Amino acid sequence: MSKTSNWVIAEEVAHAIRLGDPVVALESTLIVHGLPSPRNLEVAQELEAIVREAGVVPATIAVVGGVPHVGVSANKLAQLANSPDVRKLAPRDLAMAKVFGVPGATTVASTAFIAHAVGIKCFATGGLGGVHRGYQESFDESNDLTTLAATPIVVVSSGVKSILDVAATLERMESLGIGLVGYQTDFFPGFYLSTTEFRLEWRCESAHEVAQVFRQQREIGVSSALVVANSIKPSAQLDPSLHDELLKQALAAANANDVSGKAITPFLLEYFHTNSAGQSLHVNVEIVKGNARLAAEIASSLAAPSDI
């Protein structure tokens, strides 16, 4: 392990960063709060295996004993996956977690923040957080957006979670200056759904093109993330009519139970998993696998010499 006063970096990850070899960061909120046990640990291991198969080093990020770990050991990963007391930590929570020595799962925001701080250029997740429905009254907006606006890293996702206000989220991404390209698609994906009605301004046809765009962002001084919107195949998406019905029911259930803030996303995802007979769980897993594969390709392209 390579240890500093701020984080612990697995030796394999630290070695790859030093040499400029490709590394893909993976978040831990998916493991702890996004998927049910024991599937959560299995998926965490599968994602790392997918990245390794592409010749890239995986770096699952989580907070252990208050300290961020970049590249979590198998034992610690199992402990996190099976513990009911792991907090969901955004960047603002990291200092408190360290002082009080508590374990935590990193969100998109804190994973991106830590990954960039240690020199990792590419990160794979499922769906981004964004602007919640009814934000006009609640002002409920994920810290993912403001963090990505100030964190230069490539983030591969399948859009934002479909439980959010997608139109408002896209407007905020534009206002905050977050780079956004579709990967072989002209339309913003809808997480469980392969597409939404929202057309994208830019698309890339290959990992190489994504790497070129990100390099140019850094070259000209753009300090925001580059979000790569990667759609699940239409044949693998959740049935749209089932999705719409479940979303309607889930939002009503959240309102009836006064669920809000950090608790709403895991509540709504669990509602989908429970009431879709496992279909949404299967789609969720396929989403993150596909994003891990693409992120590994992009990381490899970023590690190769530039041709522009």
Of 213, 193, 216, which is closest to residue 203 (Cα–Cα)? 213
**Contact status, residue 146 vs residue 132, Cβ threshold 8 Å:** no
Question: Is 27 annotated in the active site?
Answer: yes
Question: What residue type is 17 in one-letter code?
Answer: I
* 76 labelled catalytic: no
The CA distance from 112 to 154, in Å, is: 9
Rounded Cα–Cα distance for residues 152 and 128 (Å): 16
d(CA 87, CA 136): 27
- The answer to whether the CB of 122 falls within 8 A of the CB of 301 is no
Q: For residue 263, give Cα distances in angstroms to 2, 77, 206, 254.
A: 34, 22, 36, 10
Nearest 10 degrees: Cα torsion 162, 163, 164, 170: 0
State the distance between the two ends of the chain, measured CA to CA, in whole angstroms: 36
Cα-only R_g, the chain = 18
**CA angle, corner 48, sides to 239 and 69, nearest 5?**
115
Catalytic residue selected from 98, 121, 161, 262: 161
Place of tokens 């508590």: 102
> Please, what's the b/e burial string for 236-271 (b: 16 or more CB within 10 A of its CB; e: otherwise)?
ebbeeebbeebbeebbeebeeeebeebebbebbbbb
Catalytic residue list: 27, 161
